[in-house]
Structure 1
Amino acid sequence: MAKIGVEGSLTDVRDELQAKGYDVVDMRSEDDAKGCDCCVISGQDQNMLGMQGTSIQGSVINASGRTAEEVCQQVDHTMQNMQ
């Protein structure tokens, strides 16, 4: 299953993704995002974890203004398009 990095404050999103069977990683630092297929950020900080110069291999999904279910649907869609 895909490895998804989730910003620590998004516990509802993390729980929903885990229930769907995703391998979820708490993102507390730049290193935590490495190797993730997709990362979910809160959008509260444009430069989350000081990653302005960093490029991850996967997609970044901004959870701002979305429900946990909407974010999970976006993750599902993103993962399907990667296959």
Structure 2
Amino acid sequence: MNLEQATLAECFDAVVNQRRSVRGFLKQPVAREQIEHIFSLAARAPSNCNTQPWATHVVGGEKLERLRDILPVNTLRGRMTLD
């Protein structure tokens, strides 16, 4: 392993070790440019056999409020499961 590879490996280790999953959401909206940037990076993530099975949807405003009301009810009624 050369110095450049070691540096890349250390950077990768740091990124993986700093990863976390946060469920404490704020009401403050995220800028559209930031969302687009995040999705452009996420699109480069590997998937099994390059199947890329995901679909993304961005909602806000009234639609978001309706989802906040509907999702817990549908989950409790067994109509859907949250991942």
TM-score range, shorter chain: under 0.3
Q: Which has the higher contact order (CA 8 A, sep 6+)?
A: 1
TM-score normalised by L of structure 1: 0.26
- Between structures 1 and 2, the one with greater helix share: 2
Which structure has the highest strand share of the two?
1
| Alignment TM-score, normalising by the size of structure 2 | 0.26
For the pair shown, the structure with the greater C-alpha radius of gyration is 2
